[in-house]
């Protein structure tokens, strides 16, 4: 009889344990949306098609600015900002600290004695990494810390698309690298990724209709494979062909013509209709996060920059600078509920940027009374039961609430992106 009692007591205890576990934390509504396509179209349909101010001429004035300059616009000290990394603890690809000798070698090779002495105009021949120092070696802060290491290579400054106009200051001492300025970023590019242009090339390149890529990572051929093209890449069109640059043996650019199927490019700018907003945004969803364009992907600000480029709206490159591309409203002193309410009342869906330090998001509208944003985001900080920080990895372009990962165990107010939102910019 005693054994039977113990048996049922054990069963009851196990049952209570599983019941307690299942009720430990109520299931909350998801804050990261996987059912994306219907949400994009639904919210886009609600938007006035004239809610963004298109500035096609201003866009191209910026894009071709390097070909209108006689000298790089950066002062030499500003151009050498990356040298400051030598005073920090920087880890290389083998997770060993970079030595003073390693930095001295890179800085000497940078050859800034010749900065801005004989600038030359050029163009990118492919999608091109812009590096802080003239080397492909990555620079990480302590890779053992959450949020450091891959993909945060601090030697990666940005990514230039094929067909981007450049102004070249000078070459590195080993002539493997060129220090360049583009319409939005400056830094070091590999010499085999560019070609030098003359007035005849510029005239031919700039005297045609401009088309822009509306599909992501399709291949072009010349006649063999040339590049995977990103949304926002610009191609002049002449007759039925599209223009790219080829280089001769002296690294001078020549006009070349390629074929691109109509489904991949459209004349710029596209009309800002709900069909186009939906079509373009779908190209970005689920793209892997790419710090400063690493691995031919995007980070938060290159996503917003490329999204609006298709519609002829020019945005600066980094998140802070993009807040100046429209009317900025400071909401940093509001509490969480007040921030949401301000965005609900004042935000213009698909034309409003939501800003926090180091990050930018595109406001899409309201679903179930929650403001939704789309952004390319790496992670959200969480804490484990020992109060130790770790990262919940999103790692892609995603549609979320303003409080992504709120339903995850370990979420705190320190984790809350909304808590860090400083303002919105209406474009």
DSSP string, 378-421: EEEEEE-TTS-EEEEEEEEEEEEESSTTTTSTT--TTT-HHHHE
Contact 319, 308 (CB under 8 A): no
Is a pLDDT exceeding 90 seen at residue 15?
no
Q: Place 425 in a pLDDT band, splitting at 50, 70 and 90.
A: very high
User: Residue 28: its pLDDT value, please?
Assistant: 59
User: Residue 57: its pLDDT value, please?
Assistant: 86
Structural domains of the chain, ranges and CATH numbers in brackets: 32-54+271-426 (3.90.1720.10), 56-267 (no CATH)
123-161 burial code (b ≥16 CB/10 A, e <16): bbbbbbbbbbbbbeebbbeeeeeeeebebbbbbbbbbbb
Q: What 3-state class would DSSP assign to 200? A: helix
Is a pLDDT exceeding 80 seen at residue 7?
no
Is a pLDDT exceeding 60 seen at residue 23?
no
The predicted model gives 300-310 an average pLDDT of 98
Give the span between the Cα atoms of 243 and 400, in whole angstroms. Answer: 39
The predicted model gives 40-49 an average pLDDT of 90
Q: 3-17, 48-62, 151-165, 296-310: which has the minimum mean pLDDT?
A: 3-17
- DSSP state letter for 33: E
Residue 337: both structure tokens together: 């509920």
Contact 309, 301 (CB under 8 A): no
Q: Place 2 in a pLDDT band, splitting at 50, 70 and 90.
A: very low
Mean pLDDT taken over the chain? 92
Q: 22-36, 42-56, 161-175: which has the minimum mean pLDDT?
A: 22-36
Contact 43, 364 (CB under 8 A): yes
Q: 1-5, 395-399, 408-412: which has the minimum mean pLDDT?
A: 1-5
Which of the two residues, 24 and 139, has the higher pLDDT score? 139
- Give the angle subtended at the CA of 423 by the CAs of 231 and 300, to the nearest 5°: 25
Instruction: Convert the pLDDT of each residue in 177-218 to its tens digit.
Output: 999 999 999 999 999 999 999 999 999 999 889 999 999 999
Is a pLDDT exceeding 60 seen at residue 3?
no
The predicted model gives 320-344 an average pLDDT of 98
Instruction: Convert the pLDDT of each residue in 382-392 to its tens digit.
Output: 999 999 999 99
Q: Place 14 in a pLDDT band, splitting at 50, 70 and 90.
A: very low
User: Residue 51: its pLDDT value, please?
Assistant: 55
């Amino acid at each position: 009889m005693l054994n039977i009692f113990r048996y049922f007591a054990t069963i009851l205890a196990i049952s209570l344990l599983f019941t307690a576990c299942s009720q430990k934390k109520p299931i909350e509504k998801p804050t990261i949306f996987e059912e994306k396509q219907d949400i994009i179209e639904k919210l886009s349909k609600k938007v006035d098609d004239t809610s963004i101010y298109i500035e096609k001429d201003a866009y191209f004035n910026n894009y071709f600015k390097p070909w209108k300059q006689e000298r790089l616009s950066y002062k030499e000290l500003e151009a050498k900002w990356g040298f400051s990394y030598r005073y920090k603890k920087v880890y290389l690809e083998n997770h060993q600290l970079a030595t003073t000798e390693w930095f001295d070698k890179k800085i000497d090779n940078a050859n800034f004695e010749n900065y801005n002495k004989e600038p030359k105009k050029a163009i990118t021949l492919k999608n091109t990494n812009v590096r802080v120092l003239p080397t492909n070696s990555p620079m990480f802060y302590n890779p053992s810390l959450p949020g450091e290491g891959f993909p945060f290579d601090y030697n990666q400054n940005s990514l230039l698309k094929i067909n981007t106009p450049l102004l070249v200051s000078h070459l590195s001492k080993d002539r493997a690298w060129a220090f360049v300025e583009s319409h939005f970023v400056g830094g070091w590019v590999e010499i085999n990724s560019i070609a030098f242009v003359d007035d005849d090339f510029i005239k031919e390149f700039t005297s045609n209709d401009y088309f822009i890529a509306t599909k992501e990572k399709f291949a072009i051929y010349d006649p063999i494979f040339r590049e995977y093209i990103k949304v926002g890449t610009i191609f002049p069109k002449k007759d039925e062909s599209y223009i790219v640059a080829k280089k001769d043996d002296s690294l001078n650019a020549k006009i070349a013509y390629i074929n691109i199927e109509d489904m991949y490019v459209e004349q710029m700018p596209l009309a800002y209709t709900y069909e186009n907003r939906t079509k373009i945004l779908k190209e970005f969803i689920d793209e892997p996060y790419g710090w400063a364009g690493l691995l031919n992907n995007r980070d938060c600000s290159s996503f917003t920059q490329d999204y609006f480029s298709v519609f002829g709206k020019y945005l600066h490159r980094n998140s802070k600078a993009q807040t100046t591309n429209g009317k900025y409203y400071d909401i940093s002193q509001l509490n969480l509920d007040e921030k949401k309410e301000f965005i609900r009342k004042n935000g213009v869906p698909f034309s409003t940027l939501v800003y926090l330090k180091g990050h930018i998001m595109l406001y899409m509208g309201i679903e179930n009374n929650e403001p939704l944003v789309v952004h390319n985001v790496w992670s959200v900080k969480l804490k484990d039961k020992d109060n130790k920080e770790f990262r919940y990895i999103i790692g892609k372009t995603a549609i979320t609430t303003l409080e992504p990962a709120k339903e995850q165990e370990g979420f705190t107010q320190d984790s809350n992106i909304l808590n860090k939102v400083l303002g919105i910019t209406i474009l």
